[in-house]
Amino acid sequence: MKRLWAQVKYWPVGASSLIIGLRPASLCLALKRLFPALALVWAFSAAAQPGGPVDDQHARLLTGKKRSLIAYAGADHSFTLEPVHAAKPSDVPGFITIDKQILQATVIPVDKSIDLRSMSEAREREILQKYMEYELDYYRKKLKQRYSNLQKEWVTLQGRTFLVWYFDTPENEKLISRQIYVSTLFYDQVMSLNAPVFRSDDWGKARSLLVKLAGTMKTYDKRVDLAVLRKKL
């Protein structure tokens, strides 16, 4: 982890390390030059960002005396995720660490041309599938990066449909062996958890961690006051 952080600590980051989510496009390019596998995490978010208030696109790590939450407060909707293990800011900007695994939570707008009013499970799967394909296409064509052994699975957690997808990075990538994502529809957005796996033996643990975290997702039809919520933790 120290070796990974040594490659990014000199790049300017506008947001606090407690913020989990969208990163500036300039940072994406810098990371692309340094280590393409992690650049994927930031690039997915920046590519989908339509240019709104930055604070409205972040999930934040809220740490209290008894527990921690990852929380997002949009204009009309909010959600929380509750880590089973203790969570803390990672040495890598934009990530948090849970049980020695770094991860990130992003909120990405769905294409406005998609009608979300009448939503069946089949339709949800179709939208999430297209989202995954869009992100992979961006990774391959825009970032000029390769991946292999793409796999996906559908899981239902607390009545919500999630797409779990993961792929291997090139063998010559010395830092990261695999990327794992867990994505679901969140009103007119996609909430996506992602984690880079540094050792291939750890990918099962990382997948389990993301799935368990996704299973704690609670949504609210209002903007939650994160300052008030933090005081309750």
Dihedral-angle region of residue 149 (phi above 0 means left; psi in -120 to 50 means alpha; beta otherwise): left
- Residue 96 confidence (pLDDT): 86
Full-model pTM: 0.78
Q: What one-character-per-residue DSSP string does 161-202 give? A: EEEEEEEEPPTT-SS-SEEEEEEEEETTEEEEEEEEESSGGG
**CA distances for 172 relative to 40, 120, 175, angstroms:** 16, 42, 9
Query: Contact at 8 Å (CB) between 163 and 136?
Result: no
Report the distance separating Cα 84 and Cα 81, nearest Å.
10
Q: Which residues contact 66 (CB under 8 A, 6 or more apart)?
A: 233
Number of compact structural domains in the chain = 1
Query: pLDDT tens across 6-57, in order?
Result: 333 322 222 222 333 333 333 344 344 344 445 555 544 444 444 433 333 6
Report the distance separating Cα 190 and Cα 130, nearest Å.
11
Residues present in the chain in total? 233
Residue 137 lies in a domain: yes
Residue 231 lies in a domain: no
For the chain, first and last CA: distance in Å? 29
Considering just the CA atoms, what is the radius of gyration of the chain in Å?
17
Kindly indicate the confidence band of residue 217, based on its pLDDT and cuts at 50, 70 and 90.
very high
- Residue 174 confidence (pLDDT): 65
Report the distance separating Cα 219 and Cα 43, nearest Å.
26
- Residue 39 confidence (pLDDT): 52
Residue 142 lies in a domain: yes
Query: pLDDT tens across 108-134, in order?
Result: 888 777 777 778 899 999 999 999 998
Q: Which residues contact 164 (CB under 8 A, 6 or more apart)?
A: 152, 153, 154, 155, 180, 181, 182, 207, 210, 211
- What is the maximum alpha-carbon separation in the chain? 48
Domain ranges, residue 142: 2-8+15-217
Residue 116 lies in a domain: yes
Report the distance separating Cα 203 and Cα 209, nearest Å.
10
Residue 157 lies in a domain: yes
In the predicted model, what is the mean pLDDT of the chain?
78
Residue 66 lies in a domain: yes
Query: pLDDT tens across 52-72, in order?
Result: 333 336 688 999 888 999 999
The two tokens of residue 91 are 């040495």
Residue 228 lies in a domain: no
Residue 227 lies in a domain: no
Query: Contact at 8 Å (CB) between 168 and 29?
Result: no
